[in-house]
Structure 1
Amino acid sequence: MTEAKPPRCQLDLIERQNRPTSVIQEDLWSLIRDSDDASRAYNIESVYDIRGPLDIPALMAAVDAVVNRHHALRTVLAESPEGVQQMVLPPVSGVLATHDFSARTPDERTALLEEAVTTESARLFSFTDAPPVRFSLYRMAPDEHVLVIVVHHLVFDGWSMGVLLHDLADAYDLARAGRPLPTADGVRQFGDFAEHQRQWLASPEAGRMTDHWVRRLRHTPEGTTVPYDHPAPDGLSFAGDRCDFELPDALARHIREVARSERVTPTAVAMLGYQLLMRELSGQEDVAVGLPLANRGWPGARDCVGLLINTHVLRQRLPTATPTRDLLHTTADLLAGAVQNQAIPLRNVYQELLERYGEEALPRYLYQTLFICHTHPHTDLRLGDATVERRPFDQRASKADMTLNLWVRAEGISGQLEYNTDLYTPRTAARVVRRYEETLTAVVEDLVW
């Protein structure tokens, strides 16, 4: 196996069908363009152990096909008098870089791989002259490989990963069979979405959605957070770590049972637990947390690769005297309203709040912690007869004070607390996870009895 050359693409050959950025993409660009730390924090990495027969030429062809199928994966950005523009690079080849560590000792292979994965996950993208995605394959033994995918959040979100892995598996099967590979024909592209979104923002529907959020966020308090262990640094900090956990099987089962009996979703039960935890830790009954939503209601958006998510603020008053059942149904109603009105970007809501009530009526931060219940289709990477398992990897970055991630699946409920290490100690993170489990247990018991 030889090391592949970088993808062949020249900036002077860029397709001149420029498109506007989406609103959230423009906001993220303004955050990362002058900060390497911020840009690095928004790298999204996935690492896969592959054991068994692997057709490397077929995988190389499949990777090229997927990158060429989804324009977002070969999109660069450029400043212009009209604002930031998306430009799509011509079809690329040789995207998959290959490395061979199989001749080294076991200890050397482990050390080399760890160093390579860490370096790849942290390496910056240029955004101006090369695709915002990297695929690297490391050969550890004849039938043992590690695949590393790194793509920037600027063109990608969690839902997009499922689309990418599904298309990569299909393209690999086609390449092995010598059949034509998938193309971009008929695929809804991210540039189409961004252009449509800019036009839609002037519509009555967009105005109605803005009103929905403005009514709920008028005189909103400072975004709720957990008291800091350390003084907050000046400016944004992205230093982070993660605390992984699994809810006990019995608790996960009871959450589903309560949700079913109360005719709400498990997400509503989990969200209420988080809100009650924030009430306890912050001492505030008026709780506001960030809620990223998939925003996949657009025609063709389910199979689109791009940054479509919108983050909104779920605000709820949680008086201690209110019965848990009433709080749960309020949470469920607020979540339903958030989903129905998720298409309007938060920036537009903030601007409307500013115009109506003035800067003095707005907090510094609408949210400081995030709650994410991952409901997008979960797709494992499938590569023919090989066994593929995702390898845990921690980039050690945090985009908020704290972010609680939950994955609700048939086999159980797993979680991950991402926290800013400039603000919190590992002991505090572990305490938050423990109290969250205890709070959920109390919610379930209260609703059952």
Structure 2
Amino acid sequence: MSDIRNRIAHLPPEKREQLLRKMAERQQASGAPALDLPPAPRPARAASEPSPLSFAQQRLWFLDRMEPGTTLFNLPAAFRLRGPLEVPALGRAFNALVERHESLRTCFMEQDGQPVQVAEPSLTLALAPEDLTGLPLEQREEQTRKRMAEEARRPFDLTRGPLLRTRLLRLSPEEHVLLLTMHHIVSDGWSIEVLIREVGVFYEAFVAGTAPVLPALPLQYADFARQQQGREGEALRRQLDYWKARLSGAPQVLELPTDWPRPAVQTFQGAELRVELPAALVEQLKALGRRSGATLYMVLLAAFQTVLHRYSGQDEVCVGTPSAGRSQAELEGLIGFFLNTLVLRTDLSGDPTFLGLLGRVREAATGAFDNQDVPFEKLVEELQPRRSLSYTPLFQVMLILQKPQGRPQLGGLALEAIKSTAGRSMFDLTLSLVEVERGGLVGHVEYSTDLFEEATIARLTQHLRTVLEAAVARPEASLASLPLMPEAEQRQMLLDFNRTHADVPLDACFHQLFEGQADRAPDAVAVRDASSSFSYRALDARSNRLAHHLVASGVQPDSLVALLAPRGCDFVASNLGVLKAGAAWLPLDPLHPPQRLAQILSLSRA
């Protein structure tokens, strides 16, 4: 009997409740005495007890305090539901989920000058559908996109919560759109998958009128945060030592050629550009990886870092990559912010072959994932890199390769994720790819619009594909010999842009050709600088006045006239004026020291 009590006491709460209910029914029917069973085990920590924040949460708390109301860390998601939806059951399912996961009813506050997280004892979410069925189809879709954007831009109050918002739109009797928005401080991408899966279990049970069956959670997120803050063991110190050695002396910034100067403070404004790699190429990349003892991710990283190396001219390239941060099995079913970031530093010096680089990348990636338990925030704290509001520390470019994802289910309803564009970019560049059923890779490049134009990113993605194709064809080739540009772009650069032949009269001078253009297009803009611009007519008139002044001052044909002026509209007018007077011009640099200018004037007798 004691063994039975023991086994029952250690059952998950849901199963224990089901078993006790059945046993009670049988006992009542038979008239047998009830079993003397022990109470269910209680957690050692009260849910309402303040707990410390994890390292990742501390960073988001600090950033939220710096910029209250920021929506940068909102995690929006939208799903189209097709089929007969039981709205009350879905509402119950979400509230059962909130009761199960403390993180979804957690708020954040200060205690003795330190941030703490506290789970509310209970929290009820409302899920009243908004009826859009009266609108024409096109307007329904437009209003859906509008509400998705609204939810993504609505800020959270970390001190009050809730940090999960639900919104349901009814487009037709059998078509709904579910909008979910969570703050990153209590969630991550993995958590959204857990949420959908468990809401599906609760929903299906409530529709069927049965008790939902889910395994008991071995711990809550606050327990994980306590464990993380208390970890100072030998394993963590060993991993920290690895990262200190690996990233010591790493370049602070990847100096990519940008279309715009880097702003003093990141605005995180961004855009996305779709990327697709065909199945045939991806299969070749996998085969190359298998021959080299490398994964598909490592091959992609080697090619990506090759492009970044060629763009920047830097021999060391640091790229960030996400890690789920759930190395323990008991964390896999929790909703919370576990996501960690690893820094992959690769040495590309010495012009290695692609196979040689792949070996270096394999070593960097293997070492990083073997030491992935050090939180990125702890790493930054230990390494103390140069901090700037203009860029993220340790890396500015990220590569993500996600595994193929199955179709999400919600209690028999067809569930389709709706892609939302948030118009932001956390880093300079993020290349995100996922394998699809037909065998290829699809994804997007998320880029900072403060730095890059879309055409630049499109060219970069084409260069990456060219390097990948060349690498599978000639993996033993050196990085410098791998083509960066596809054949069409090479032809354009080497041939098309150099077809400069034009039918120009060889006996005409430059200023005469200019005057002919001024006659043809007098009102077109001829020259522009930061503060002014001249039309062809105005520039012609201005240069004529200067030419007459020079001739009146004694300038004759074949004279040499020195010109000391900054680059601008007047510089061009002066140049033309000298030529129209029949003289040659000698440019003087205003930045040269006076002694150098005097020497030039003396020797030239201008």
* TM-score of the superposed pair, with normalisation by structure 1: 0.89
Deviations 1:306-345 (A, max 9, x none): 1112212211111252121121122112111111111112
Question: Counterparts in 2 of 1:110-149, with a 5 A limit?
Answer: 110-149=141-180
Unaligned runs of 5+ in 1: 1-13
Distance 1:404 1:19 in 2: 36
**Relative contact order, CA 8 A, sep 6+: which one is greater?**
1
**CA displacement, residues 57-105 of structure 1 (integer Å, 9 cap, x when unaligned):** 2211111122222222221111122621111122322343421111122
Aligned to 1:139, the other structure's residue is in SS state: strand
Once the two structures are TM-superposed, the CA of residue 15 in structure 1 deviates from its matched residue by 5.1
Residue of structure 2 in register with 1:26 after alignment:
58
SS of the aligned residue for 1:300 comes to: helix
Deviation at 1:127, TM superposition (A): 1.3
Maintained 8 Å contact 1:258/1:444: yes
Deviations 1:147-178 (A, max 9, x none): 11111111111221221121122122111111
Contact kept in structure 2, 1:65 and 1:182, CA below 8 Å: no
1:262-341 paired onto structure 2 within 5 Å: 262-319=292-349, 321-341=351-371
- Select the residue among 235, 239, 264 that pairs with 2:269: 239
Query: Is the CA contact (8 Å cut-off) linking 1:51 and 1:143 kept in structure 2?
Result: yes
- Secondary structure of the residue aligned to 1:193 is helix
* Aligned with residue 209 of structure 2, among 148, 154, 178: 178
CA contact (8 A) 1:187 1:303 kept: no
Change (3 A) 1:448 1:173: farther
Counterpart Cα distance in 2 of 1:48 and 1:66: 18
What is the match of residue 413 of structure 1? 441
Q: Residue 253 and residue 240 in structure 1: after superposition, are their counterparts in 2 closer, same or farther (change >3 A)?
A: same
Using the TM superposition, give the Cα deviation of residue 358 of structure 1 relative to its aligned residue in structure 2, in angstroms: 9.7
In the alignment, the residues of structure 2 paired with residue 297 and residue 227 of structure 1 have an alpha-carbon distance, to the nearest angstrom, of 38
Classify 1:171/1:145 alpha carbon distance in 2 versus 1 (closer, same or farther; 3 Å).
same
Give, in angstroms, the shift of residue 207 of structure 1.
0.8
The correspondence of residues 1-400 of structure 1 with structure 2, limited to 5 A, is: 16-35=48-67, 39-81=70-112, 83-181=114-212, 185-200=216-231, 202-319=232-349, 321-354=351-384, 365-375=393-403, 378-400=405-427
Aligned CA distance change for structure 1 residues 94 and 153 (closer, same or farther; 3 Å): closer
Query: 2:48 touches 2:121 (CA, 8 Å); kept in 1?
Result: no
Q: Which runs of 5+ in 2 are unaligned?
A: 1-45, 478-606
- Check whether the contact 1:225–1:278 (CA below 8 A) recurs between aligned residues: no
4+ aligned runs moved over 6 Å, structure 1: none
Q: Quick check: which has more Rg, 1 or 2?
A: 2
8 Å CA contact 2:252–2:386 kept in 1: the answer is: no
1:236 CA displacement: 2.2
Contact 2:307 2:464 in 1 (8 A): yes
Q: What is the rounded CA distance, in whole Å, between the counterparts of 1:393 and 1:385 in structure 2?
A: 24
Equivalent residues in 2 for 1:413-432, closer than 5 Å: 413-432=441-460
Q: What SS does the aligned partner of 1:45 have?
A: strand
Q: How far, CA to CA, are the matches of 2:173 and 2:392 in structure 1?
A: 55
* Alignment of 1:401 onto 2:401: no
1:372-427: per-residue Cα shift (whole Å, max 9, x none)? 2224x835331233322111210111111111112135533122111111111111
Measured in 1, the distance between the counterparts of 2:52 and 2:126 equals 26
CA distance in 2, matches of 1:187, 1:163: 15
Residue identity in the other structure for 2:57: Q
Give per-residue Cα distances to partners, 1:156-214, cap 9 Å, x unaligned.
Answer: 112212211211221221111112236794343211111100111x2111111011011
CA deviation digits over 1:26-69, x for unaligned, max 9?
Answer: 012211233257x3122111111122222212211111122222
Q: Distance in 1 between matches of 2:167 and 2:397?
A: 33
Q: TM-score by structure 2 length?
A: 0.67
Letter in 1 for 2:399: F
Which amino acid letter does the alignment assign opposite residue 55 of structure 2? V
Q: Following the alignment from structure 1 to structure 2, what is the Cα–Cα distance between the partners of residues 306 and 214? A: 28
Distance 1:383 1:309 in 2: 25
User: Are the structure 2 counterparts of residues 275 and 54 from structure 1 closer, same or farther at C-alpha, using a change threshold of 3 Å?
Assistant: same
Q: The residue matched to 2:140 in structure 1 has which SS?
A: helix
Counterpart CA distance in 2 for 1:368 and 1:169 is 38
Aligned to 2:176, the other structure's residue is in SS state strand
Cα 1:97–1:263, aligned 2, differ >3 Å: closer, same or farther? farther
**2: CA distance, partners of 1:444 / 1:249:** 14
2:488 is the counterpart of 1:440 = no
Number of residue-to-residue matches in the alignment? 428
Distance 1:448 1:54, change over 3 A: farther
Identity value in percent: 31
| Secondary structure of the structure 2 residue equivalent to 1:372 | strand
Deviation of 1:279 after TM superposition, in Å, equals 0.5
Residues 248, 174 of structure 1: CA spacing in aligned structure 2 closer, same or farther, 3 A cutoff? same
Q: Which amino acid aligns with 2:56?
A: I
Shift of 1:346: 2.6
Shift of 1:364: 8.0
Separation in structure 1 between the aligned mates of residue 420 and residue 379 of structure 2, nearest angstrom: 35
C-alpha separation in 1, matches of 2:446 and 2:118? 33
**Partner deviation per Cα, 1:344-375 (whole Å, 9 max, x = no partner):** 12333333334xx999xxx9831111122224
- Change in 2 beyond 3 A, CA 1:225/1:289: farther
Please give the alpha-carbon distance, in whole angstroms, between the structure 1 residues aligned to 2:95 and 2:469. Answer: 48
Question: How far apart are the structure 2 equivalents of 1:169 and 1:364?
Answer: 38
Find the residue that maps to 2:461 and give its secondary structure: helix
